[in-house]
Amino acid sequence: MNGPVFYHETQGFSPAVVAVMLAAVALLAALLMLRLTTTVTGDSVSVRYGFLYETRIPLSQIALAEAVEYAPLREYGGWGIRGSRRRRALNARGNRGVLLTRIDGSTLLVGSQRPRELLEALSRVGIATQDRLPIVVKDF
């Protein structure tokens, strides 16, 4: 450099800001990779939402299973793990699922892209079922 310096500036993100941004991106990526997994066995229904939530309901505690179409935003406030202890919803996408009513009256809505198949599996293990999904007629 020739002569005196009258102005000099170096800019960049502070390490704290970078750390917060990286943590936010990592959290978002983890949430986007969450999977909703539903398993029906001879003695229970297990529902797992990634690493965040897991429940197992003995078949003896299920009074009714209904295939339903619902409004995630209006009825439950969106997708994911929603609701309260007595009225919970686990849904990853879409607007269809199976509503499980326990013998104590509490409900668990399990989102599903194949609700009729889930309902059929529940029927095979002895759960009372009801199909409330609309019938789709295709024109050929």
Q: Which of 27-41, 58-72, 84-98, 124-138 has the lowest mean pLDDT?
A: 124-138
Q: How far apart, in whole angstroms, are the C-alpha atoms of residue 38 and residue 44?
A: 11
| SS3 of residue 120 by DSSP | helix
Within 33-140, residue ranges assigned H as helices are 115-124
What per-residue confidence (pLDDT) applies to 90? Answer: 95
Quick one: which of 67, 80, 74, 82 has its CA closest to 134?
Answer: 67
Q: What is the pLDDT of residues 6-31, one digit of tens each?
A: 888 888 888 898 899 999 998 888 77
What per-residue confidence (pLDDT) applies to 129? Answer: 87
- Find all residues with CB under 8 Å of 61, minimum gap 6, and list them: 102, 103, 104
pLDDT confidence tier of residue 51, bands split at 50, 70 and 90: confident
What per-residue confidence (pLDDT) applies to 136? Answer: 61
Tokens 């990634």, residue? Answer: 50
How far CA 18 is from CA of 10, 12, 26, 30, 48, in Å, comes to 17, 10, 12, 18, 33
Quick one: which of 104, 108, 103, 106 has its CA closest to 76?
Answer: 108
- Find all residues with CB under 8 Å of 86, minimum gap 6, and list them: 105, 106, 107
More confident residue, 87 or 9: 87
What per-residue confidence (pLDDT) applies to 137? Answer: 58
What per-residue confidence (pLDDT) applies to 20? Answer: 93
More confident residue, 12 or 57: 57
Q: Would the pLDDT of 138 be above 70? A: no
Mean pLDDT of the chain: 90
CATH number assigned to the domain covering 35-131: 2.30.29.30
Domain boundaries, the chain: 35-131
